Structure 1
């Protein structure tokens, strides 16, 4: 049976924030950004809300019809070489920290490190985050959400990119055609992330 998927709108903001908050509470990267468990319980949702607002404004959020999973995507253009050498990314990281948790330097640091490691030479679809309600993990919802956009990538000849936040999740993405890039993103005194890239699959590739 197929998974019903629709595009989220502003009215889905609270649902998406709750899904991401629940799905990433015990994620290694979230644990690094907010090391103290009780503080993470009280504060983590603010970071997820900031991410949700960015993607609602600039990208696309897909949700399953039953509201148990969501995926956040941004369409990334190829760098034109005329930008301010990362100054915009740096400013964005500062604003993120100030809006989410002003005294927490790791909020800014994670945003800065991810921006610095992001491939910029080709236009691509960027899977920023995917969240599945804990009670529904392992049901194939995440894979269905990702494949929903990958099908369009294949039709349009677009590659896709993501950072896996656990070694376990890299296995799912490998099954969807992603491959590990040439370096990990190692957070200072913290966990490792796995940047992954997927070339579009053409009809010729399938035969």
Structure 2
């Protein structure tokens, strides 16, 4: 596992944009227009920046898989994060989706623990290299590093087939919701 440097941003954003094009949670907050891929890229840029400053951005040894981990207890609001939020609104989710996005995030956060944890915001493998165990290996390394940091890992997925991937790594589903018109599964290794 490699801790990303800022110059890895373009590669990480590319992997995640390709990996999450059809993701229900991502497409829930992204306007479904001709700029959808550009909007998803903006979401991934935003997520990279937040995790780079308030968590970890990790890459597999071969740089074909990446993960964005946020440490919510370390996140601070400042001018930089406000500017990132504004950029996400204008280039990503659009002004019309702000309320829906904030409502979704508030709903999700109510199921998170009060103690420090690692939030696995995104993990993705270059689509040409999926199914080779790269993601599983990176996930195991994330779990071990988080264990050493004494931070359980929490995540959500809207992709049913990913549940087995996470369960095989030791996660369990602790909540499910259909609140947004698609199934959303909450998982933790705690």
> Common fold, TM-score beyond 0.5?
yes
Say which one has the larger Rg. Answer: 1
Aligned to 1:154: 147
Change over 3 Å in CA distance of 1:108–1:9 after alignment to 2? farther
Q: Give the Cα–Cα distance (whole angstroms) in 1 for the partners of residues 163 and 52 of structure 2.
A: 26
Secondary structure, aligned partner of 1:167: coil
1:13-54 Cα shifts (integer Å, max 9, x gaps): 111111111111122223333353632123221111111111
Q: CA–CA distance in 1 between the matches of 2:189 and 2:133?
A: 19
Partner of 1:86: none
Matched, 1:32 2:32: no
Query: In structure 2, how many angstroms separate the alpha carbons of the residues matched to 1:159 and 1:95?
Result: 30
Instruction: Look up the match of 1:87.
Output: none
Alpha-carbon distance in 2 for matches of 1:153, 1:97: 28
Match of 1:109 among 95, 100, 104: 100
Among residues 8, 15, 31, which one is paired with 1:12 in the alignment? Answer: 8
Between the two proteins, the alignment pairs up a number of residues equal to: 181
The aligned residue for residue 156 of structure 2 is 163
After TM superposition, the runs of 4+ consecutive aligned structure 1 residues lying more than 4 A away are: 91-94
Q: Please tell me whether residue 46 in structure 1 is matched to residue 42 in structure 2.
A: yes
Q: CA deviation at 1:184?
A: 2.1
Distance of 1:160 and 1:9 partners within structure 2: 22
Q: Of the candidates 176, 179, 192, which is equivalent to residue 169 of structure 2?
A: 176
Q: Secondary structure at the match of 1:26?
A: coil
- The alignment yields a C-alpha RMSD, in angstroms, of 2.6
Unpaired runs of at least 5, structure 2: 75-81
